[in-house]
């Protein structure tokens, strides 16, 4: 066992929350708070997790379940358990291996990885690293011409699905990022960086790895015609000019021959529109509480979306997943699978690939243990009879 593997092994790391302080100790405050924080008062960030506490289990007792079948299918792809790794931007700043090692860990665990447009590694390298399905999450930063180039590259590289994010008309106000000066630290002005440098210098091991990795990377998957890769510092401004509309989704559907996933749905109306635009799946998501604050927790929004889709497309969900029991609750309420972001990003920041692997192990074992305690032999057998939901969740 390597030193990093020991650092995240039991009993030091028993659950996902145990990975969080390890990540905090290894990262500069600006980078950790970018990963950990949310928009405005972080109400939705907290509610994404709190919603799981409101759903209680109804186990079938006096049932022996010697083995559980955790397998599921998403968009026709076999997964070892119903959780995929969500797109996490700036992953290479959290750890030099970034998206490559996260994809490799996902593939080794038999599940899917979703690569963010805001990636420091090329999509070809990420796709080659994984033995499992890899999806590409698309922002329209750089305009349609740049997006067309990314879509074509993703198709040639062998990506299995395209994930279009629709909740980033502008970047949400993440107050921790403003206080920590992440814009200034990523920018080109040395003088603007000076007030924020002590937090970087306080993490010399991270700083050495960061500098040896080449410093601030460009975005190798966003190629601006005539200019080359988009600088990482241009992302926030570019998002404000890259809102995905329903017309854009139809255009994307024409450009991409494989399954299209629409991420950022919180209402039944938008879910139906996404399916009408050609989505094979929708992701119930509020961007991890990082965009519009005070929207519904995703678990609360899930039943409405499932009812609206009515079997015409698959329904996935992200936001607040920290335990295997959270995953089981989402499946009981109609999700085909969930996307986990912060859960594995804490592991990536704490110990690279070993940390991602440990995060997946924790979630997988939690799913299996929960099924056995529920008296349920398989993921496919889960339904709403295994949970109780507060009456206050009924929007009707």
Which residue in 60, 95, 121, 287 is the catalytic one? Answer: 287
Beta strands in the chain (DSSP E): 56-57, 72-74, 77-79, 83-85, 113-115, 134-138, 161-165, 218-224, 228-231, 260-265, 281-284, 314-318, 337-340, 387-388
Give the sign of the dihedral formed by CA 267, CA 270, CA 276, CA 280: negative
Q: Are strands 337-340 and 83-85 parallel, antiparallel or unpaired?
A: parallel
- C-alpha closest to that of 221 among 113, 348, 342, 127: 127
- C-alpha 245/C-alpha 149 separation (Å) is 19
Active site residue 95: no
Kindly report the CA angle at 340 between 372 and 298, in degrees rounded to 5?
A: 90
Q: 154 with 162: CB under 8 angstroms?
A: yes
Residue with tokens 């279009």: 164
- How many angstroms separate the Cα of 105 from the Cα of each of 251, 356, 383? 33, 6, 29
Catalytic residues: 287
């Amino acid at each position: 066992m390597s030193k990093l593997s020991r650092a995240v092994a039991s009993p030091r790391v028993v659950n996902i929350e145990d990975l969080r302080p390890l990540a905090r100790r290894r990262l500069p405050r600006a980078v950790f708070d970018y990963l950990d924080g949310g928009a405005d008062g972080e109400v939705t960030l907290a509610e994404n997790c709190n919603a799981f506490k409101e759903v209680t289990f109804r186990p079938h007792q006096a049932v022996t379940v010697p083995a559980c079948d955790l397998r599921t299918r998403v968009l026709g792809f076999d997964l070892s358990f119903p959780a995929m790794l969500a797109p996490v931007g700036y992953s290479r700043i959290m750890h030099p291996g970034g998206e490559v090692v996260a994809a490799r860990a996902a593939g080794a665990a038999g599940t899917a990885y979703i690569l963010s447009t805001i990636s420091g590694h090329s999509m070809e390298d990420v796709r080659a690293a994984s033995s499992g399905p890899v999806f590409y999450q698309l922002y329209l930063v750089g305009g349609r011409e740049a997006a067309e180039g990314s879509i074509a590259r993703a198709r040639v590289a062998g990506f299995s699905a395209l994930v279009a994010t629709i909740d980033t008309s502008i970047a949400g106000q993440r107050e921790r990022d403003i206080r920590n000066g992440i814009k200034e630290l990523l920018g080109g002005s040395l003088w603007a960086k000076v007030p924020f440098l002590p937090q970087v210098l306080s993490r010399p091991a991270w700083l050495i790895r960061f500098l040896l990795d080449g410093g601030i990377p460009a975005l190798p998957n966003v190629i601006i015609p005539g200019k080359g890769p988009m600088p990482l510092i241009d992302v926030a401004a570019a998002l404000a000019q890259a809102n995905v509309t329903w017309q854009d989704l139809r255009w994307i559907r024409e450009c991409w021959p494989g399954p299209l996933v629409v991420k950022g749905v919180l209402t039944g109306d938008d879910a139906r529109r996404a399916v009408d635009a050609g989505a094979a799946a929708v992701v119930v998501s509020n961007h991890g509480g990082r965009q519009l604050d005070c929207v519904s927790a995703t678990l609360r929004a899930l039943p409405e979306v499932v009812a609206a889709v009515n079997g015409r497309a698959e329904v996935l969900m992200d936001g607040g997943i920290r335990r295997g029991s959270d995953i089981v609750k989402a499946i009981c309420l109609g999700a085909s699978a969930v996307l986990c972001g912060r859960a594995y990003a804490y592991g990536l920041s704490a110990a690279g690939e070993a940390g991602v692997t440990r995060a997946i192990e924790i979630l997988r074992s939690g799913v299996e243990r929960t099924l056995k305690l529920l008296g349920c032999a398989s993921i496919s057998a889960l339904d709403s009879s295994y949970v109780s939901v507060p009456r206050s969740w009924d929007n009707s």
